[in-house]
Amino acid sequence: QVQLVESGGGSVQVGGSLRLSCMQSRDIDNFSCMGWFRQAPGKEREGIATIFYSTTYYSDSAAGRFIISRDGAKHTLYLDMNNLQREDTAMYYCAASPCVTSNQALGALRGSFKFHYWGQGTQVTVSS
């Protein structure tokens, strides 16, 4: 059974930083595609950053501030978030899927491809 468990959320002030982690079940191979998504109250879920092996993609709101990375040995995906703003307040979800091409990772970011497996989410709250 695939499990994705997020951690690292919390409350931070504007301009602060957080690192989110997503640990994947250790009894299966690392997924080729993984990503971070978020959903704020009253808004649709949006893609923040995705990764296909080592190739990364970012939304406009994340580019330049967030960094997605992975540690295969630890079966863990990370999202380093810097210069956080109030509009970054949301529930953040980790997701994964076996992908054949990088276009699927890009598609997941844009909403045209849906990842198969999802975590339960971790809350990020940014206040001034």
Q: Which helix (H) or strand (E) holds 108?
A: helix 102-110
CA dist 58 and 99 (Å) reads 17
What is the mean predicted confidence (pLDDT) over 121-128?
A: 97
pLDDT per residue as tens digits for the range 20-33:
999 998 777 789 99
Closest CA to 115 of 42, 40, 57: 57
CA dist 8 and 21 (Å) reads 6
CB 75 within 8 A of CB 24: yes
pLDDT per residue as tens digits for the range 56-113:
999 999 999 999 999 999 999 999 999 999 999 999 999 999 999 999 999 999 999 9
Chain mean pLDDT for the chain: 95
Q: Which residue has the tokens 């690292």?
A: 8
**pLDDT value of residue 44:** 96
**pLDDT value of residue 115:** 96
Is pLDDT above 90 for 14?
yes
Is pLDDT above 90 for 1?
no
